[in-house]
């Protein structure tokens, strides 16, 4: 609070009347201020909760619109519309609240994913996730009980051939992809198969081979009504419920055990994907937490004060001059 100097003999009440209160922007006060951060939260959780992540952008967009309009119309407590002030605030919000924080989240997620190469597989978290997605698509067109210990190699051969073709196709598509399409997919895409194209083929095939062995091991345990060592108690109970449900359904009764086993294996694989997504989400939050204050300072002190304000003044002054000439 700034206090205006007064005579030392003035009454205390008189001194209070001369105090000049600092202006407090209502849009900067909580809980309204909290709306400005919902898009950053949405960007951070979009990988694990896509729909919620998208919805969280709406409160932020409403807040940005209200803030820009407020700064255009008012000079603190005075009604004084000003195009330059409104434009300046729009640029600030676009950079400091949308583009740069979202870029920080994505960079954090990419960094967390890249750290996965330090694991035994040598693949990024994103590559592992896409490989599991590919396997789910592959086995959705086949039943695992068609294969036994004598012809696992047949399954592996078909799978690796299909995966190799996919890998080569992704490499070709990645090389010719339009930069704008690539940027859109990176920002808003939920799946990133191009990560497989950027991974070493031998490492991809080796990881796939290990995953196939694990999958058949789990399938055999389930068909023998044995709890797989990879399963949690919750997932094991889920398998029991699926068996009961399918056994009562005429459409599944004949193959209820196989179908329950295949479905619960898909749930297990999805849980592994979710673990990778959680690690990437944490990376996004960490990056956002580190970058948010430097972003605000950089945009305010460099972009706005050194670039935007000088040029906006020139633009709007020229516009006013041209308007005056036209009117005269």
pLDDT for the residue numbered 67: 86
Nearest to 243 by CA among 214, 264, 273, 212: 264
pLDDT score, position 239: 94
> Hey, which residues does 79 pair with through a beta bridge?
74
Cis status, amide bond into 206, omega within 30 of 0: no
Written as tens digits, the pLDDT of the chain (328 aa) is: 333 344 443 444 444 444 456 767 766 776 777 788 888 888 888 888 888 988 998 989 998 988 888 888 888 777 878 888 888 889 998 998 888 998 899 889 888 888 887 777 788 888 888 888 888 888 888 888 888 777 778 888 888 888 888 877 777 766 555 556 555 555 555 556 667 666 777 888 888 888 888 999 999 999 999 999 999 999 999 999 999 999 998 888 889 999 999 999 999 999 998 998 999 999 999 999 999 899 989 999 999 998 888 887 676 665 554 554 444 4
Separation between Cα atoms, residue 69 and residue 279, nearest integer Å: 39
Look at residue 324 in the predicted model and tell me its pLDDT. Answer: 47
Stretch (H or E) spanning 2: strand 2-3
Residue 135 corresponds to which tokens in the numbers above? 């396997």
Cα gap 97→296, rounded to integer Å: 8
The residue among 293, 324, 280 whose CA lies nearest residue 116 is: 280
CA angle 165, 176, 202 (to 5 degrees): 35
Tokens describing residue 22: 């600092």
Beta-carbon count within 10 A of 303 CB = 17
Burial class (CB in 10 A: 0-12, 13-18, 19+), 283: buried
CA distance 296 to 244: 56
* Cβ density class 76-109: b for 16+ within 10 Å, e for less: eeeeeeeebbbbbbbbbbebbbbebbbebbbebb
Tell which residue, 254, 268, 149, has the closest CA to residue 218: 268
Residue 9 φ/ψ region, left for φ over 0, alpha for ψ in the -120 to 50 degree band, beta for the rest: alpha
Distance CA 204, CA 116 (A): 13
pLDDT of residue 47: 83
């Amino acid at each position: 609070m700034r206090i205006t100097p007064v005579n030392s003999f003035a009454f205390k009440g008189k001194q209070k009347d001369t105090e000049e209160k600092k202006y407090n922007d209502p849009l900067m006060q909580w809980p309204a201020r909290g709306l400005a951060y919902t898009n950053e939260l949405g960007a951070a959780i979009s990988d694990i909760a896509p729909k919620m992540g998208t919805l969280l952008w709406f409160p932020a967009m409403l807040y940005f619109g209200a803030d820009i309009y407020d700064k255009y119309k008012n000079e603190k407590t005075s009604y004084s519309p000003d195009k330059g002030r409104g434009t300046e605030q729009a640029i600030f919000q676009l950079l400091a609240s949308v583009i740069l924080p979202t870029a920080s989240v994505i960079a954090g997620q990419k960094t967390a994913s890249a750290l996965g190469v330090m694991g035994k597989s040598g693949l990024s978290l994103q590559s592992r996730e896409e490989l599991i997605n590919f396997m789910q698509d592959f086995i959705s067109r086949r039943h695992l009980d068609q294969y036994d210990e004598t012809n696992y190699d047949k399954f592996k051969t078909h799978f690796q051939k299909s995966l190799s073709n996919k890998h080569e196709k992704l490499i070709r598509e990645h090389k010719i992809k339009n930069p704008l399409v690539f940027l859109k997919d990176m920002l808003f895409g939920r799946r990133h198969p191009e990560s497989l194209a950027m991974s070493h083929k031998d490492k991809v095939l080796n990881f796939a081979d290990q995953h196939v062995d694990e999958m058949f091991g789990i399938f055999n345990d389930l068909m023998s009504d044995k709890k797989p060592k990879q399963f949690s108690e919750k997932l094991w109970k889920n398998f029991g419920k699926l068996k009961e449900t399918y056994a009562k359904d005429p459409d599944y009764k004949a193959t209820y055990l196989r179908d329950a086993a295949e479905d619960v294996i898909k749930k297990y694989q999805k849980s592994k994907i979710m673990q990778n997504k959680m690690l990437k989400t944490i990376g996004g939050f960490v990056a956002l937490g580190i970058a948010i204050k430097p972003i605000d300072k950089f945009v305010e002190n460099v972009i706005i004060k050194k670039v935007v304000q000088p040029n906006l003044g020139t633009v709007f002054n020229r516009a006013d001059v041209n308007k005056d000439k036209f009117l005269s």
